[in-house]
Every structure is written in structure tokens, then in C-alpha cells.
């Protein structure tokens, strides 16, 4: 899932093979979702980007725990196929599809309005949807598409659903980031394309840094509400996120696939943050792909930067009055 950064190095082929070998050799025993007794009967969960990859594996696990499981997907056909697959695998009829494109604030608002109208509670929100490899693109709403998809859309969605989460407390918010956040930078001008980064890799890294900053500030604001918010890295995972890259990069990805995590393995840290008893009461933290509590980068721990990003995000999403630039 998080491989593109290595492909910019002049010796990317050999370095990527070496990375794959190291990941295979260093793979540690991690928390096992199958041994976690958490039952979600009577609970409602939302997983974005749940029609494939990590998101689908997370939704499958939560449905197995008897949760009312809402798959928030951009594509109706693929989303419905995932719903039918999960229903058949779990025997849980309460697996539903709701359309959501996190690159569109209008879509996010429509989705949130439907949830608030139709659902009585929300116990877990997993912001998993994300992409990389796209060229610089400005959406009809004036936002850079990768930043909107990976960060600003989830920011708005979470804020619109906060009252329902609080009313359902104890509740959890899980934001899927990446170890690549440490190579990112956070500047509100990226969100509208006023300031451009060089390459899709730098863009991806920066969206993932914003996910960590957002989580830290969100957790601070939610203190005392019974809602916790954490973020995590799934590791280097074999999913379809590479689909926007060139055929050469995709071929390389296939070559090292035996050495990296499957989508099921990559979903473990997300599931851990969503349901494990160990995370109960922990908030505003970053977990690595082996479910270990880890310090994120120095930039990700900058409280002032997190507040500044939050305020700019509020303005851009219309959550507060202020100039939209």
C-alpha cells in the first residue's frame, strides 16, 4: 500500500527488492484479531474505502463481530459486490452500502446527512479511504484531489458525525495513516493547490502527516467525551492502491509481493485500534503496523501546527465562518 516512495531512487529496483527482503525477515508476531473476544452486537460501524484491500478486510472483521457494518464506497458496483461477499462470509445481514467519495465535500455532506437521518448510533468510524499516484488535479470545489481524498474529506466527515459518536460513547475514531508521514510536510496551501509539491509521492506523504496531526488535535478536542481517536500505519501492503502508477512500478510491486503484507495482514493494526481492549482509554496516539504504540515524527507532534491545520481545514470545509482561499 505504501510503496511508491522507494521508486524515486536511482537504484529503486535493487533497493525495493532489498526492502522486501528486510520486511520479510523482520516480520514480527503481531496482535491476532482472531484471538480478540470483542463482540459488537448492537453497535454500528462505518469503514470508508471498504470495497477492496485493507478496508474490506476491516469491514469483514467488524461484521464477524456482529456489528451493523456500513461500507462507505465510491463505486456502487464494487461496493455492492463487497457487501454480498461479506454477508456470505459472516452470515451477518446487517452489512450495508452507502456511496461516498471523500474527494467531494458535497458527497461527504450527503453521506453524513444520510447517516444522521438513518442511524441511531455510531460506535466506530474508520477513515481508511485513500489513494496515491494521481497527477496534480483540482476538483470542481477548488481542492487538490489527493489532499481532498486522503485528508480533507475525512476531516469533514468526522466532524459532521461527531455528535452521533459522542451520543454513542464510548466510541472510537480510527484514521489510517502511514509510516511515510515522516517524510511529509503540512501546509494548508497544499489543500487548494496554491502550493504544489513535486510528485505524487511527496503529496501522499504529506496527506499522511496531515492525518496524524488531525488525529492529535481531534483527540485533544474530544477529551472527556468518551470518544477516542487514534491513527496508525498498516505497513507496506499489497493492495490496489498502486493502480494509478506506471506499468513498470506496478510490475515491480508484483515482483516483491511475496515479501510484503497481504491486505488481511495490513488490516491488523486498523482492527486493533477499532476493537482491542488494549486501546481502550488511549487517544491521540500513533500505532505502527505491528500494533505497537510509537512516537510519530517530530512534525506530527507539533501541537501548534496541528491547530493551524485544523483551523485552515475548518475554513475550507465551511465548518466555521471565514475566508475560503
Catalytic residues: 204
Which runs of E-coded beta strand occur in the chain?
A: 44-48, 68-73, 95-99, 124-127, 171-176, 227-232, 286-287, 293-294
Could you give the C-alpha distances from 8 to 62, 180, 212, 224, in angstroms and in order?
37, 14, 24, 44
- Residue with grid cell 465548518, as numbered in its chain: 319
CB atoms within 10 A of CB 35: 6
Cell of 286: 500513533
- Residue with grid cell 513498470, as numbered in its chain: 248
Cβ atoms of 319 and 156 within 8 Å: the answer is: yes
Amino acid at each position: 500500500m505504501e510503496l511508491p516512495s522507494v521508486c524515486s531512487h536511482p537504484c529503486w529496483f535493487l533497493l525495493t527488492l532489498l526492502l522486501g527482503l528486510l520486511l520479510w525477515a523482520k516480520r514480527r508476531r503481531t496482535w491476532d484479531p482472531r484471538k480478540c473476544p470483542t463482540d459488537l452486537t448492537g453497535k454500528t460501524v462505518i469503514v470508508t474505502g471498504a470495497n477492496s484491500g485493507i478496508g474490506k478486510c476491516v469491514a469483514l472483521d467488524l461484521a464477524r463481530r456482529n456489528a451493523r457494518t456500513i461500507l462507505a464506497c465510491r463505486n456502487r458496483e464494487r461496493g455492492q459486490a463487497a457487501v454480498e461477499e461479506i454477508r456470505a462470509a459472516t452470515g451477518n445481514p446487517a452489512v450495508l452500502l452507502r456511496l461516498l467519495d471523500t474527494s467531494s465535500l458535497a458527497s461527504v455532506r450527503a453521506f453524513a446527512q444520510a447517516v444522521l437521518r438513518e442511524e441511531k448510533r455510531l460506535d466506530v468510524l474508520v477513515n481508511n479511504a485513500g489513494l496515491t499516484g494521481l497527477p496534480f488535479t483540482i476538483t470542481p470545489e477548488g481542492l487538490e484531489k489527493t489532499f481532498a481524498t486522503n485528508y480533507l474529506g475525512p476531516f469533514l466527515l468526522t466532524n459532521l458525525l461527531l455528535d452521533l459518536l459522542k451520543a454513542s460513547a464510548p466510541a472510537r475514531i480510527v484514521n489510517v495513516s502511514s509510516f511515510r508521514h515522516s517524510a511529509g510536510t503540512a501546509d494548508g496551501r497544499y489543500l487548494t493547490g496554491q502550493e504544489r509539491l513535486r510528485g505524487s509521492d511527496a503529496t501522499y506523504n504529506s496527506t499522511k502527516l496531515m492525518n496524524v496531526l488531525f488525529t492529535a488535535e481531534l483527540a485533544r478536542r474530544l477529551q472527556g467525551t468518551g470518544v477516542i481517536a487514534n491513527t496508525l500505519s498498516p505497513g507496506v501492503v499489497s493492495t490496489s492502491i498502486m493502480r494509478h502508477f506506471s506499468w513498470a512500478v506496478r510490475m515491480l510491486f508484483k515482483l516483491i509481493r511475496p515479501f510484503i503484507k497481504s491486505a488481511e495482514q495490513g488490516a491488523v493494526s486498523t482492527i486493533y485500534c477499532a476493537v482491542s481492549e488494549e486501546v481502550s482509554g488511549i487517544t491521540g496516539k500513533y500505532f505502527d503496523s505491528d500494533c505497537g504504540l510509537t512516537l510519530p515524527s517530530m512534525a506530527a507532534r507539533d501541537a501548534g501546527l496541528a491547530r493551524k491545520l485544523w483551523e485552515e481545514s475548518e475554513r475550507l470545509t465551511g465548518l466555521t465562518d471565514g475566508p475560503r482561499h
